[in-house]
A and B are shown apart, each in its own frame.
Chain A
Amino acid sequence: MSGLKFAEVEDTLKRIQGYNGVIGTIVVNGEGIPIRTTLDNSTTVQYVGLLHQLILKARSTVRDIDPQNDLTFLRIRSKKHEIIVAPDKEFLMIVIQNPAE
């Protein structure tokens, strides 16, 4: 069962990476270590280090206001691209995309 899911997730990741405008995807585990990435090492480390803290803060904020609530995703849109972060129970997924003009 978990093997099937694993393959599905891998597929999904591949698809996401293949979408139009996607610059890179990073998967981070619960300890803040990137386990899968399509960017180079230094960039990955930089993104992970900075976003990890932000997600913890965002999640803490949301849950502090209402503990039954939880963070679904965080979107940071900048001039050049958009960073989409989706936290999960144990993992964190980061996608950097160039939104279609």
Chain B
Amino acid sequence: MPVLHKVGTGKSKQATNVNTQPKAPVAKGAKAAGKKKDEEEATDTAEGEEWMPGKTLVKPPDQLDLTEEELKEEITRVLTANNPNAPQNVVRYGFKEGCYKPIVFVDQMAIHFEIEGNLVHKESDEGRRLMAEQVIREDGAGDEKLENLAKAGKKERKLTNQFNFNERASQTLNNPPRDISCQTEPPPRANFSATANQWEIYDFYVEELKRREKSKEKQEGQFLNKEEDKSKKKMIQAETQSDDISLLAHAAKIIERMVNQNIFDEVAQDFMYFEDASDEFRGEKGTLLPLWKFQYDKTKGLCVTALCWNHKYNDLFAVGLGSYEFNQEERGMLLFYTLKNSSYPEFVFNTASGVMCVDIHEQLSYLVAVGLHDGCVAVYNLKKKSDQPIYNSIACSGKHRGAVMQVKWQKDDLDSNHNFFSVSADGRVVSWTLVKHELVFTDIIKLPAMEKVPDDFKDVIATAGTSLDFHKQKDHHFLAGTEAGKIYKGSKHYSSKFLETYDAHFMTVSRVRWNPFHPNVFISCSWDWMVKIWDHTIKSPIFTFELKTSVTDVAWAPYSSTVFAAVTTDGKVHVFDLSVNKYEALCQQKVVSKKTRLLHIEFNPVHPIIIVGDDRGHVISLKLSPNLRKKPKEKKGQELPKGPEVEIAKMEQLLSSLR
């Protein structure tokens, strides 16, 4: 609190006690009293000093030395109540004007000392509270506590004041955490990966089915199956132990065929697709295109004695190898080739004696009947892997005494046994039946002896049968050609006599065959250079063709009733089509090198190819050109009728034209 002093004069000689601020009025009084005392003391001292001999003024050493004039000078001192430390030029930014403005009134208060007091007004809340507490404290020592508590409780209730927040917390003792871990040995791991494809699922189901079936079988026939299983187990063990590549047989076969296909690619293409376009310009004539040549090096010295196509698998054919010479060493082979592999035969069977004829069963294409040079007949089962025939007539009493020239399968007899016929050089036509494990023979008929033979020797000198053929529709009719040149028509039912005799040729009849379509027609060929076509009701031939050399074989085409082909010893193949040209062959082509004789010919039942066998043991396949495969021209507007009836009609037409 500034106390405004009047402007006053004061000499400042020894300014030691200048009180500028007396604060409390209480203090003022005391100080005033003190002043008086000082003055009194001063006078006292002054009085005391008067009697002392001269008071000397003591000068402090650093006092200014001033002259008398300077001493007398009056210095004006102004005392203001302004705070010397307060700022004089405070400037404040005024937002209204946007500039700094000086502030005139500056706070002049200088605070020298500050202390907060602890006096509380007794009427205020806090004052009342404190007074209450004081009372409690004074009474607290001996009084009853209940009363106090009640009072305190009443008064204490008000303590829940949001401004008077009390936080209490206490910390419990935390147990120090401890990590305990243990590691087990890791379980053994294996990497497993698999695929789940549709086929894997399928395979699994198939196996499951098999297992179930096996278990069923086991239940049904335990005894036998146990033995089987044992043997199977042994087999399986043997297979898995060895790295046996015999399982590779199938794959190796496929590969061989493919390699062959690659090597003979052109041939395969020709076989499938080539049609000789030049046939159009050739008029009627046709050609034969050589395709594959089938050879096997072990056939040296053997001739092809028989050819037979398989009816079920149209690319498979059988080749019988033997010898026509009687003085050569006896050995023979039966080979099976497929068009898919011309380098090596599919099946090879070695026979003790030369094979003279082969026939494959029409329905059961795995049954092959073979007639041998020594008079035996044998039946092979191609499904079996063995080299031996399943039936052999060596042990039979009724076996032929001469070479078996022709065998032919027949339909199953009434007991559903397979049976086949054979004709041989001993003149007998015998029927063989496959009964269980045996061949049972039945003499059908004996070819009549030749007239030239004197009666005494008729039983001894047999008429060698050279060919045999059964009628396609009337099964019991058959034709037998003989060495003498006669053809006999017989029936299975008559065992003593023949139905008909034809004086066909001057020399050995090498082949007789019924026409596949027309029921009355058959063809025969012989070493006397002739090919003759007959109607079995007429004793003389309808057609006669003379080829320049011995005709060794003749065959009808399976696709037309008027087409046939013949092979001769000069290596030529002659193809005729009677509906086109009745006098001449459409094709006369030499297919082998000189000095090789062609011995057999067969048409493929499906494909337009023929196979010819020669005397070197080789088989050549040839493709027939379109001219040789002509179908009757279709008349405009009419649909081309199909089927065997057409063929029959065609033939009939021919025949009627001649009568």
Contacts and interface: CB of A to CB of B under 8 A. Distances in A.
A64 B199 contact: yes
Given A19-B259, A91-B251, A95-B259, A9 B197 contact: no
A7 to B, nearest CB: 9
Interface residues on B, range: 20 to 34
A61 to B, nearest CB: 10
Contacts of B246: 2, 5-6, 8-9
B251 A88 contact: yes
Interface of B: 195, 197-199, 201-203, 238-239, 243-256, 258-260, 262-266, 343-344, 385
Contacts of A100: 262-266
A86 interface: yes
Contact of A75 (B198, B249, B258, B266): B258
15 contacts: A5-B246, A5-B249, A6-B246, A19-B263, A20-B263, A21-B262, A35-B243, A60-B199, A67-B198, A84-B255, A84-B262, A86-B251, A86-B255, A90-B247, A93-B251
Contact of A2 (B195, B243, B244, B255): B244
A35 B199 contact: no
A96 to B, nearest CB: 10
A97 B238 CA distance: 34
A91 B255 contact: no
Given A13-B252, A64-B198, A6 B244 contact: yes
A13 B253 CA distance: 9
Nearest to A93: B251
A50 B251 CA distance: 19
Mostly, the A contact residues are mixed
A86 B257 CA distance: 11
Nearest to A1: B385
A68 B202 contact: yes
Nearest to A36: B245
Contacts of B255: 16, 25, 73, 84, 86, 93, 95
Given A19-B260, A86-B255, A9 B248 contact: yes
Interface string A54-74: 000000100110011000110
B199 A6 contact: no
- 4 cross-chain pairs, A with B, having the tightest CB-CB distances, nearest first: A63-B199, A67-B202, A5-B246, A88-B251
Contact of B247 (A20, A91, A95): A91
A36 B248 CA distance: 12
A88 B248 contact: yes
A95 B258 CA distance: 10
Contacts, number: 108
A12 B256 contact: yes
Interface residues of A, number: 43
Contacts of A73: 254-255, 258
Given A36-B245, A67-B203, A72-B254, 12 more contacts: A15-B256, A29-B243, A60-B197, A64-B199, A67-B199, A84-B255, A84-B259, A86-B251, A88-B247, A95-B255, A97-B262, A100-B262
A79 interface: no
Nearest to B197: A64
Contacts of A89: 247
A9 B256 contact: no
A84 B253 CA distance: 12
A84 B263 contact: no
Contacts of B239: 2
A77 B184 CA distance: 58
Interface string A16-38: 10011110010101000001100
Contacts of B202: 63, 67-68
A99 B385 contact: no
A9 B248 CA distance: 7
Given A84-B258, A95-B255, A4 B203 contact: no
Contacts of B385: 1, 4-5
Contacts of A22: 259
Nearest to B348: A8
Nearest to A21: B263
A97 B254 contact: no
Give the residue among B251, B258, B385 with the most A Cβ atoms within 10 A.
B251
B254 A86 contact: yes
Given A16-B255, A97-B262, A63 B197 contact: yes
Nearest to B245: A9
A2 B195 CA distance: 34
Contacts of A60: 195, 197, 199
Contact of A82 (B195, B262, B344): B262
A13 B252 CA distance: 7
